[in-house]
């Protein structure tokens, strides 16, 4: 349906107002227990043991702590911990806002040729929360860029292991039904 001239004019006026209005800085819950950003991906072709021990690709808490998991060879994962200073977390949330994250659709399904590999990015501010889920390649490029940035540690200081039990890249293999000892325990 074609848009009418008054509708187009209203849209242009609203856009012009937003250009001249000072941008509000994103505000978040600074409580160390509050999750501000969560990046999660489904691993549909992973061994069952890995599916049972799923870790989000990244979690960012209100105090700036960030934990992210990177996939390694042979279905291993390396979990790293870092810290974003308050200024860095504010810049990250401004980047999320500037990328248009809060105006993206909630779901971007795959087309028939792609194998679904969902990625979900959820951001919680004091005045709003939004989650975007997209199959690989189906979402906007800005979504993919944000996801990649957050799930690689968002430039956090640290990046060291999350502790001896998590840091060692643990390879998970499909459980053998012949022996209980082959099922990894965590």
Q: Given a cut of 70, is residue 18 above it in pLDDT? A: no
Per-residue pLDDT of 148-175, as tens digits, reads 999 999 999 766 665 433 433 333 333 3
Confidence of residue 11 (pLDDT cuts 50, 70, 90): low
The per-residue pLDDT for 168 is: 36
Q: Please indicate, yes or no, if residue 80 is contained in any of the structural domains.
A: yes
Number of domains making up the chain: 1
**How large is the average pLDDT for residues 81-86?**
96
Q: Please indicate, yes or no, if residue 169 is contained in any of the structural domains.
A: no
Domain region containing 30: 24-162
Q: Please indicate, yes or no, if residue 176 is contained in any of the structural domains.
A: no
- Domain at 101, CATH number: 3.30.1560
Is-contact 38 10, C-beta < 8 A?
no
pTM of the predicted structure, to 2 decimals: 0.71
In terms of Cβ atoms closer than 10 Å to its own Cβ (0-12, 13-18, 19+), residue 127 is exposed
């Amino acid at each position: 349906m074609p848009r009418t001239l008054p509708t187009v004019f209203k849209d242009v006026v609203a856009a012009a107002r937003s250009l001249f209005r000072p941008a509000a800085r994103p505000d978040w819950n600074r409580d160390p227990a509050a999750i501000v950003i969560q990046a999660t991906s489904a691993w549909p072709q992973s061994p069952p043991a890995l599916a049972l021990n799923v870790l989000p690709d990244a979690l960012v808490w209100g105090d700036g702590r960030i934990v992210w998991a990177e996939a390694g060879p042979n279905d291993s994962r390396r979990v790293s911990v870092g810290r974003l200073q308050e200024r860095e977390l504010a810049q990250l949330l401004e980047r999320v806002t500037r990328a248009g994250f809060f105006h993206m659709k909630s779901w971007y399904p795959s087309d028939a040729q792609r194998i679904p590999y969902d990625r979900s990015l959820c951001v919680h501010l004091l005045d709003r929360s939004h989650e975007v889920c997209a199959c690989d390649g189906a979402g906007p490029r800005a979504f993919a860029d944000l996801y990649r940035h957050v799930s690689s540690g968002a430039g956090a200081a640290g990046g060291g292991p999350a502790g001896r039990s998590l840091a060692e890249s643990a390879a998970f293999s499909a459980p053998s039904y012949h022996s209980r000892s082959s099922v990894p325990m965590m």
